[in-house]
Structures are given as C-alpha cells and as structure tokens.
C-alpha cells in the first residue's frame, strides 16, 4: 500500500505558504492560490515543508489526509511549472479560433459553438500545427475541466475519424459494416 500521504511537501524558492485556520494560501510572483481543507486534517508549515496529519477522532480522516496532500502537492508543484493540456481537432472543416476571452469552435454544426474561457487560463493555437490547441494554467483541476468541456462538444467518432481528442489519446478506427449478400 502506498504511503505517499505521509511524506512532507517541499516548498520551492520564491513560493510562500501561509496557513490560516482551515485555509492554505500559496503565493508566488504572479499571483496566489488558496485551498480550504476540512477540519479532519491538520496542516502545518515547518522547515520549508508542508506537513499534513490526520486528526484521529475525525471521521474519514485517513481519506481526507491523502486527498488534501495530493491537492496541496499539485498546487505547490504547478505554481512554478504551469500545467499544460493539448487537444487535437481532426476533420476537414473543423477548426479552433481564439478571440479574447472567447473560444469559437467550428465543428460541423449549423452554427459555431462559442465557449467562454475561464479567467487565468492561457489558450493558444499551435503555430505549426493549426489543428492543435494548448491550454495551460497553474490550476490542474481548471485545465482538465475546461479541456473536458471542449472535448465533450464533439466526442471521437471512430468510423469517419471526426473528433476532438487529447494529443496523447489514440482512437482506434473501426471499419464500416459491410452487410451480407
């Protein structure tokens, strides 16, 4: 069984971590993030490390211990390195357009699909490959959620090959049904 939740989280240089009650605030040069944890765990900052311990009398303390540790670890890790996800669009007339805080998708409907880009997210179209979209930001959850919303607008269709997919994802193509004669 994994014991990762027991390990302290190292705080990198130029990152400041403050714990106020049940809120952890992480500050760096570009901004700050905050996380409200449940009172079943205790969070302390000691010797440039974040230490999370469960409160033994609390219900679900062990489950919240691991969850809180992973969320704080992700927050500390990506304030210095932004989290990045890439989507690929595949079909002749399909395309992405980014105009300010709106993203316009042309994906085979009778109308263009407009999506509001959440504050802070950086959305860029690849300069070399015009069918690839890069989404990055320090909040891993926000990046995954927004890319999943975009992908849900046109899920992979394995027969014709029309889709919006993650760059790393492999869609297995299927042959059309031939029928018997």
Q: Which CATH class is domain 4-80?
A: alpha beta
Nearest Cα neighbor of 37 from 67, 77, 7 is 67
30 vs 86: CA distance, rounded Å: 23
Instruction: Output DSSP code: residue 139.
Output: -
Structure confidence by residue, pLDDT tens digits, 32-64: 888 999 888 899 999 999 999 888 887 788 888
Structure confidence by residue, pLDDT tens digits, 89-108: 888 788 888 998 999 988 88
Domain residue spans of the chain: 4-80, 83-166
Same fold, 4-80 and 83-166: yes
At the second CATH level, the architecture of 83-166 is Alpha-Beta Complex (3.90)
Give the global pTM: 0.73
105 vs 109: CA distance, rounded Å: 10
Name the average pLDDT for the chain: 87
**What pLDDT was estimated at residue 2?**
64
């Amino acid at each position: 069984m994994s014991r990762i939740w027991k390990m302290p989280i190292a705080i990198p240089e130029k990152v400041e971590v403050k714990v106020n009650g049940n809120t952890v605030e992480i500050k760096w040069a570009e901004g700050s993030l905050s996380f409200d944890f449940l009172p079943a765990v205790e969070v302390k900052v000691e010797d440039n490390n974040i230490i999370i311990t469960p409160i033994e009398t609390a219900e679900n303390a062990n489950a919240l211990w691991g969850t809180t540790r992973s969320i704080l670890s992700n927050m500390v890790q990506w304030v210095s390195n932004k989290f990045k996800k890439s989507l690929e669009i595949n079909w002749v007339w399909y395309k992405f357009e980014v105009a300010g805080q709106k993203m316009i998708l042309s994906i085979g409907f009778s109308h263009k699909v407009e999506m509001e880009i959440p504050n802070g997210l950086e959305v860029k179209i690849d300069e070399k490959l015009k069918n690839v979209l890069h989404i990055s930001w320090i909040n891993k959850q926000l990046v995954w959620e927004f890319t999943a919303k975009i992908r849900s607008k046109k899920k992979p269709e394995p027969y014709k090959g029309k889709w919006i997919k993650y760059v790393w994802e492999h869609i297995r193509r299927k042959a059309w049904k031939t029928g018997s004669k």
